[in-house]
Amino acid sequence: MSRRMLQFAGAALALGWMGLAVAAPDVGAAEKQPLNVHAIVMFFIFVMMTLGITYWAAQRTKTASDYYSAGGGITGTQNGLAIAGDYMSAATLLGLTSMTYFQGFDGYIYCICFYVGWPFIMFIMAERLRNLGKFTFADITSYRLDQRQVRTIAAIGSLTVVIFYLIAQMVGAGQLIKLLFGLEYWIAVVIVGVMMVIYVTFGGMIATTWVQIIKACLLLGGGTLVMLLAFSQFGFNFETLATKAVENSKKGAALMAPGAFLSDPVTAVSLSLGLMFGTAGLPHILMRFFTVPNAKEARKSVFIATLCVGFFFTVVALMGLSAITIVGTNAQYFEGGVVGSRLLGGNNMPAMHLAHAVGGNLMLGFLSAVAFATILAVVAGLALAGASAISHDLYANVIRGGQATEAEEVRISKMSSLGLGVVAVLLGIAFERQNVAFMVGLAFGVAASCNFPVLILSMYWKGLTTRGAIWGSVAGLVSAVLIVVLSKAVWVAVLGNKEPIFPYEQPAIFSMPLAFFFAWLGSVTDKSDRAAKEKEAFNDQYVRAQTGFGAAGAAAH
């Protein structure tokens, strides 16, 4: 296996270098930056390091448990960093810095909405997730319900989330890399796809976790360094920073207060609900809870993850505020060299320009490499979650009725990750010129409406039956997708119609209650024998959820 892996890795690198050669003559094309040598060198160091880790992880991946959950052998602190890594994407670094740069405090409100799901996960979900789950969150929802039906719908929910999230990441990756590294779009997408498949196929959860940990440290370290360098220009005085920002921003004093962000309360509440409960329904995040040996470590992971995410959001907000003065008054970062015109490279670039302004090409290169590494790590986590839904839920438990051997299951999972890689690359290329902003919203909406309600009910409500779980999931899935499709984000922006059919873009405030309602309705009207047995089985499940007795333990090694 290791030899095959090395060949694969070699091919991937060759492909990368080939890309450089192909891209070289294009330097200077619109929107594409000149080849960024620092960034590329640092990125290749990251790639070599992660390939080394993948090789090491491949030696240690022997059983299905190693493959899906790193044998339950990750410590709470390591897992906390990895969870934070899964959560802090390149979009967080670039998008939220840019939001603070343009909108001021609204950017920080957005950060807080993103953040507040974590304490909730800690208090209400962490220990039960760990005590009940094994490889995928469907292990929990199907614990006492009909394996085939519940796992099928859970897998559909997971795959929907994974695919939309993957496309958004792929398109973002392609555009970002084109911009930062000066590579062709399609080459960037192929590199991301190939690396993702290598990590997941050969290294499974162990490699995915360590890639995520390294990336989280790089992102936290890089972001903090840029923030400190920028903040030092204001003498580490927040009042000076704020005064200068207000002086130099088009928004002026409005930077210091909430603005347009919550002008529409329905959208605002819906967005917060979607972010908060969507986080608790993302399959790649939920999967991370099964990599630690017990509930104690699961709680510790959320504690560390909450710290990292909260700290990073604050760093990002300070970066955005500093950029208003440092980047916003420097003509070299604007098109045509005119302060106040369009930012070079587009609206997502304040973080990158700030890195350049405070640390020159070296810092820009470093932060670009970190952004690329971030994308790789996030897509690897997604691909593993998607592949597990296919192999563990659909193949092993639905198609084979639990009769598949571990080896077969892992083989299917590896084939699935390859398949997902191909699909992600093709869709990533197909959607190059589309507006994909709605896809992340859709992923969170489906996670909050299809996955989360049934997951939380299965853990907390004795009365949930198979029929209720199916009704709830389907109602959440269909309503979330329909609302997004009929809203402005897709109906107008993608499909080119004049007026949206549905006035709101954020589905959660509508689709979550629908999912809960139908899960309840389907359950209470279910008078079958099976339903009675399912309710009866809650008692044992409850004891296991609370005490961890009988929980899937750490592997012996």
Tell me whether residue 247 or residue 335 sits nearer to other proteins (CB atom).
247
Maximum pairwise Cα distance, the chain: 74
Tell me which of 98, 141, 142, 306 binds other proteins, using CB under 8 A.
Answer: 306
**First-last CA distance in the chain:** 21
In the complex, what is the shortest distance from the CB of residue 210 to other proteins, in angstroms, rounded to a whole number? 24
Beta carbons within 8 Å of 428's beta carbon, 6+ residues apart: 166, 167, 170, 171, 173, 174, 189, 192, 193
Residue 543 binding other proteins, by CB under 8 A: yes
In the complex, what is the shortest distance from the CB of residue 549 to other proteins, in angstroms, rounded to a whole number? 5
Give Rg (Cα) of the chain: 23
Beta strands in 193-246 (DSSP E): none
Per-residue binding string, other proteins, 493-532, x by CB under 8 A, is ----------------------------------------
Residue 20 binding other proteins, by CB under 8 A: no
Tell me whether residue 259 or residue 513 sits nearer to other proteins (CB atom).
259
Residue 269 binding other proteins, by CB under 8 A: yes
The C-alpha atoms of residue 20 and residue 14 are separated, in whole angstroms, by 10
Tell me whether residue 186 or residue 542 sits nearer to other proteins (CB atom).
542
Tell me whether residue 149 or residue 267 sits nearer to other proteins (CB atom).
267
Instruction: Give the CA-trace dihedral at 94, 96, 101, 104, to 10 degrees.
Output: 180
Beta strands in 440-481 (DSSP E): none
Tell me whether residue 252 or residue 337 sits nearer to other proteins (CB atom).
252
In the complex, what is the shortest distance from the CB of residue 544 to other proteins, in angstroms, rounded to a whole number? 7
Phi, psi values for residue 120, rounded to 5°: -60, -45
Task: Residue 408: count other Cβ atoms within 10 Å of its Cβ.
Answer: 15
In the complex, what is the shortest distance from the CB of residue 246 to other proteins, in angstroms, rounded to a whole number? 5
The C-alpha atoms of residue 251 and residue 505 are separated, in whole angstroms, by 25
Q: Which two tokens stand for residue 488?
A: 């402005």
Q: Is 110 helix (H, G, I), strand (E, B) or coil?
A: helix
Residue 550 binding other proteins, by CB under 8 A: yes
What does each C-alpha distance from 80 to 122, 205, 310, 448 come to in angstroms? 12, 15, 13, 22
Residue 548 binding other proteins, by CB under 8 A: yes
Tell me which of 314, 437, 482, 554 binds other proteins, using CB under 8 A.
Answer: 314
The C-alpha atoms of residue 192 and residue 376 are separated, in whole angstroms, by 6
> Whose structure tokens read 């779009």?
185
Residue 299 binding other proteins, by CB under 8 A: yes
Tell me which of 24, 256, 407, 426 binds other proteins, using CB under 8 A.
Answer: 256
Tell me which of 228, 495, 540, 553 binds other proteins, using CB under 8 A.
Answer: 540
Tell me whether residue 83 or residue 390 sits nearer to other proteins (CB atom).
83
Give the amino acid at 124: I
HEC readout, 55-87? HHHHHHCCCHHHHHHHHHCCCHHHHHHHHHHHH
Tell me whether residue 190 or residue 324 sits nearer to other proteins (CB atom).
324
Residue 538 binding other proteins, by CB under 8 A: no
Per-residue binding string, other proteins, 103-132, x by CB under 8 A, is --x--xx-xx--xx-xxx-xxx--x-----
Tell me which of 13, 217, 229, 307 binds other proteins, using CB under 8 A.
Answer: 307
In the complex, what is the shortest distance from the CB of residue 265 to other proteins, in angstroms, rounded to a whole number? 5
| Size of the residue set binding other proteins (CB under 8 A) | 52
The C-alpha atoms of residue 301 and residue 78 are separated, in whole angstroms, by 7
Report whether 445 contacts 508 (CB < 8 A): yes
Q: Which DSSP string corresponds to 512-529? A: HHHHHHHHHHHHHT--SH
Q: Which two tokens stand for residue 193?
A: 């796809």
Tell me whether residue 416 or residue 541 sits nearer to other proteins (CB atom).
541
CA-angle at 80, arms to 79 and 83, nearest 5°? 85
Q: Is 334 helix (H, G, I), strand (E, B) or coil?
A: strand
Residue 453 binding other proteins, by CB under 8 A: no
Tell me whether residue 4 or residue 533 sits nearer to other proteins (CB atom).
533
Pick the piece of the chain touching other proteins (CB under 8 A) from 132-140, 239-247, 376-384, 446-454.
239-247
Residue 296 binding other proteins, by CB under 8 A: yes
The C-alpha atoms of residue 554 and residue 557 are separated, in whole angstroms, by 8
In the complex, what is the shortest distance from the CB of residue 321 to other proteins, in angstroms, rounded to a whole number? 8
Residue 553 binding other proteins, by CB under 8 A: no
Pick the piece of the chain touching other proteins (CB under 8 A) from 88-96, 331-339, 370-378, 548-556.
548-556
> Whose structure tokens read 């907000």?
317
Report whether 155 contacts 138 (CB < 8 A): yes
Residue 272 binding other proteins, by CB under 8 A: yes
In the complex, what is the shortest distance from the CB of residue 103 to other proteins, in angstroms, rounded to a whole number? 12
Beta strands in 304-436 (DSSP E): none
In the complex, what is the shortest distance from the CB of residue 76 to other proteins, in angstroms, rounded to a whole number? 9
In the complex, what is the shortest distance from the CB of residue 137 to other proteins, in angstroms, rounded to a whole number? 20
Tell me whether residue 309 or residue 363 sits nearer to other proteins (CB atom).
309
The C-alpha atoms of residue 353 and residue 371 are separated, in whole angstroms, by 13
In the complex, what is the shortest distance from the CB of residue 67 to other proteins, in angstroms, rounded to a whole number? 25
Binding residues (CB under 8 A) for other proteins: these are: 105, 108-109, 111-112, 115-116, 118-120, 122-124, 127, 238-239, 241-243, 246, 253, 256-259, 261-262, 265, 268-269, 272, 295-296, 299-300, 302-303, 306-307, 310, 313-314, 317, 539-540, 543-544, 546-550
